[in-house]
Amino acid sequence: MSNVRAQAAHTLFQVVDKGISLSVALPRYSRDLSPQDKALMQQMCFGVLRYLPSLEFYCQQLLEQPLKGKSRVYQFLLYVGLYQLQHMRVPEHAAVAETVNALKSMRATGLKGLVNAVLRNFQRRQIELEEQAQQIDACKYNHPGWFIKKLQRDYPNEWQTIIQNNQQQAPMWLRVNNRLNGRQAYADSLSEKGIEFTLDDQFADAIRLTKAMDVFALPGFADGACSVQDAAAQQAARLLAPQNGERILDACAAPGGKTCHILELADANVVALDADAQRLDRVRENLDRLNMDAELICAQAQDTDSWHKGEQFDRVLLDVPCSATGVIRRHPDIKWLRRGTDIDELAKLQAQILEAIWPLVKSGGVLLYATCSVLSEENQEQIKSFLAHHDDALHVPLHDADTTDQPGWQMLPGLTDGFYYAKIIKQ
């Protein structure tokens, strides 16, 4: 039987030191665990990634020297132990004992004394160490410095709230399939099962669950009655406003939530395009569960010569590759996998894709630009530059403060994920 804390340490080592995404590493290392242990491991991995600078600081104070080289994975086991002591409801004696026991399955029983001593020492010095950590910005905010600077620039009044919200567990939102039932009817079926939720009038298809749960315990999930999708992401199809019979492109479509939502709202001919064949399989799985169909194409969006067959589109949803800085609470590894230098590269790629896709939009057609970023380079600045260079691009305001000088709708992480939308009509 795999040891859950050992597997968490291996996962974190792969993410932080090897640059593997958590969504890849977590399933790999939790494969042999029970459902209960999988949930525990996810909680520990997410937690360590949320508070990594603080946990690193504690280890610096408690170890004579950091564990390096082949011993580096045991440094992450210490982080797992420290996170449990500081943030989890695991009884302290159990947190220490189980973390020490993990060394047996890691074949490093010689380190039991060291791990035990570090964790016991943290218990004795916890208040003092936490006070020291609060004096250091990296530990106070638990976000990389480059990202804090960009937030301070873009959101002088809100940056601390964004950071606080990034440290919270994201809510579980459902999208009701309007083809099968209305939102209220589905809400009633949740009530019958004793599942608690809230409704918000600004999100027409969305239901927010009070507590996250297994999707297959949701009424009708297997038959397509609902999907899991954040309310911010649900705005994509609503803002695109698909109509029956239209030809619609969902570029960068995987994993397919927005593709399916478009088809829930209209009988349209949808082309779902993505560069990643494996992720495109997820689009097919989602379509199959909802009993829907779209044309799937595996290609780079900007390489239109390789996939476009000449016919233009009535509407295009362009959910471009981005920094994903709006969904950090769902993917805390983003903080440590992203680099400040990535943002310029991503902005260049976004501009290339916009330029390549624009000719594919019919005259009078709509392009909806979307990112799950909160950074202006990828959002307002990108659209402002595009509008300035295209006389045939007409900016459509999505709210009162959406102007050509400050275009688009920026949603910040809180009630929903952080998302950006800008709508353009081709004249």
| Rounded Cα gap, residues 195 and 122, in angstroms | 40
CA distances from 324 to 28, 228, 330, 368, 399 (A): 22, 18, 10, 18, 23
Nearest-angstrom CA–CA distance, 287 and 261: 10
Between 231-240 and 257-265, two packed helices, what is the crossing angle to 10 degrees?
Answer: 50
Cβ atoms 231, 206 nearer than 8 A: yes
C-alpha distances in angstroms, 274 versus 113, 180, 259, 352?
50, 28, 11, 16
Q: Is 260 a catalytic residue?
A: no
Q: Packing angle between helix 112-133 and helix 92-105, nearest 10 degrees?
A: 130
Distance CA 209, CA 174 (A): 8
Catalytic choice (139, 226, 322, 372) = 372
**For residues 209 and 198, what is the distance between their CA atoms, to the nearest angstrom?**
7
End-to-end CA distance of the chain: 63
In order of 79, 226, 313, 386, the CA distances from 351 in angstroms are 40, 34, 19, 8
The catalytic site residues sit at 372
